[in-house]
Amino acid sequence: MKSTRLLLALVSVAFFAAACSKSDSHDHDKKSAHAGHARKAPHGGTLVEIGDHQFNLEFVLDAATGKISAYILDAHAENFVRSALPSFQAVATVGTEKRTLTFMPVAYAATGETVGDTSQFDATADWLKTTPTFTGEIDSINIRGAVFKDIVFAFPAGTAAGHAEHAGHKH
């Protein structure tokens, strides 16, 4: 009887240990971990990774009004990151033409965000009403004291879904 209980206890411990060893760990040091690391854009927009897994920008186009919003998000695109940025620019390439989009801070009373402390920036342009795809480049953006340069992305494809290499470099 004692040996049966001991055997049952050992089998239970072994089963538990095996189940725990197969748990889903989140190891950023393994390149293969990024393959299963899918992020969802909170507004259903386009994610662009900034830095080496430091931040994301989510771009959301409202073609009817010609407005594109950019939301600053954390590394996992789960939380909004407020910024004191007065503005930032992206140069969109449409065909052979380059068009500048100036993103201005947006206050949002429901969350207490104000100009100078917000995660949302908007730009408007009439050409956005009829141009659903473009290549964008942000020359430089400062997020919480870290400066990121030469961020290139495709809209609406983005960069974060596949963890594209060199999506944004910290300089």
pLDDT tens digits, one per residue of 56-85 = 999 999 999 999 999 999 999 999 999 999
Mean pLDDT of 35-46: 74
pLDDT score for 81:
96
pLDDT score for 51:
92
137: left (phi over 0), alpha (psi -120 to 50) or beta: beta
Answer yes or no: is pLDDT of 27 > 60.
no
Domains and CATH numbers, the chain: 43-170 (2.60.40)
**Overall pTM > 0.85:** no
Over the stretch 91-108, which tens digit does the pLDDT of each residue have?
A: 999 999 999 999 999 998
Give the H/E segment covering residue 55: strand 55-62
Q: Please provide the DSSP assignment of 74-92 as one string.
A: ETTS-SB--B--S-EEEEE
Over the stretch 118-170, which tens digit does the pLDDT of each residue have?
A: 999 999 999 999 999 999 999 999 999 999 999 999 999 887 543 333 333 33
pLDDT score for 162:
38
Q: Omega of the bond prior to 156 within 30 degrees of 0, cis?
A: yes
pLDDT score for 167:
37
At 61 the three-state DSSP class reads strand
Strand partners for 47: 58
